[in-house]
Amino acid sequence: MIRKIFNLYLSSDKQLAQYIKGITGFAPSKLYLYKQVFQHRSKFSDPKTNNERLELLGDSILDAIICEHLYKKYPYKEEGFITELRSKIVNRKSLNEVGQRLGLTDQLNYNRKNTNDISKDMAGNTFEALVGAVYLDTNFNDTKQFIQKRILQNLIDVEELSQTNTDYKSQIFHYIQREGKTIEFRLAEEKSKSKRVYFVIELLINGEVIAQGEGFSKKAAEQNAAMNSINALGIKVEVQAK
């Protein structure tokens, strides 16, 4: 408690501490973690000081929290529904919007001359790093509370997303036909997960791997691969109400 009070009112980084409290709802204890959240690799090459490791951790924690949330929220829905809805919540576009609405890129310390194409995803990546920092500063349950109360209740409309239907495979096939390119779905890995067969599918365009998708069925994995490819290529998709 003393550390938190010091961070908020006496630390040289008290503005950062107050900003984090405004976002998360709690005063940060390990303030150095949040400083690292805003240190981009374009300016901080050392992995011990930039936010990439926090981003990786936050990605996994966020995925688990969202999956658990949907599992409990929709107890009678099948795996495919939960997988698709989770993907809609944690895809690049959605996370970038969350990061932008939180103003994370305004705090980000990066080299504006050396970011180029990666700049479009910096908001979402920084948000994932923030999730990683919150987890290390607190615990899984407190991180889950932050995501549920601050993100899912205020910034992401889960109900609206659940009422939309996007056939990503059809969208990517339309793109391929329009561009005169070739497409292939290739099984990259087949493994056991939770005592069930689990598939990893690669999507290739003109022989080049664009993205992967995962799922407990090849159909679900292909849909996820198509969705991830659409996000990677920046293709505008058409979403229809169910």
Query: What is the pLDDT at residue 144?
Result: 97
Catalytic residue among 52, 84, 128, 202: 128
**Chosen CATH of 164-241 out of 3.40.190.10, 3.90.1150.10, 3.30.420.40, 3.30.160.20:** 3.30.160.20
List phi, psi (to 5°) of 241. -70, 145
Are the C-beta atoms of residues 186 and 204 closer than 8 Å to each other?
yes
Are the C-beta atoms of residues 127 and 121 closer than 8 Å to each other?
no
For residue 240, give every residue at least 6 positions away whose Cβ sits within 8 Å of its Cβ, in sequence order, or none: 164, 165, 166
Task: For residue 128, indicate whether it is catalytic.
Answer: yes
pTM: 0.73
Query: What is the pLDDT at residue 136?
Result: 98
Please give the Cα distance from 72 to 94 (Å, whole number).
Answer: 21
Angle at 109 between CA 62 and CA 146, to 5 degrees: 25
Catalytic residue among 59, 137, 202, 222: 59
Task: For residue 142, indicate whether it is catalytic.
Answer: no
Per-residue pLDDT of the chain (242 residues; tens, 9 = 90+): 888 888 888 889 899 999 999 999 999 999 999 999 999 988 888 989 999 999 999 999 999 999 999 999 999 888 778 888 888 898 888 899 999 999 999 999 988 776 554 567 899 999 999 999 999 999 999 999 999 999 999 999 888 888 776 678 888 998 999 999 999 999 999 987 666 788 899 999 999 999 998 887 888 889 889 988 988 888 876 655 44
| Beta pairing, strands 196-205 & 208-215 | antiparallel
What are the extents of the domains in the chain? 2-162, 164-241
Residue type for position 141:
N
Type and span of the H or E element at 214: strand 208-215
CATH architecture of 2-162: Orthogonal Bundle (1.10)
Query: What is the pLDDT at residue 210?
Result: 94
Residue 206: which of 240, 167, 180, 172 has the closest Cα? 180
Query: What is the pLDDT at residue 124?
Result: 93
How far, CA to CA in Å, does 193 sit from each of 188, 215, 227?
15, 10, 22
Please give the Cα distance from 124 to 108 (Å, whole number).
Answer: 12
- DSSP letters spanning 40-66: -TTT--STTTSSHHHHHHHHHHHHHHH
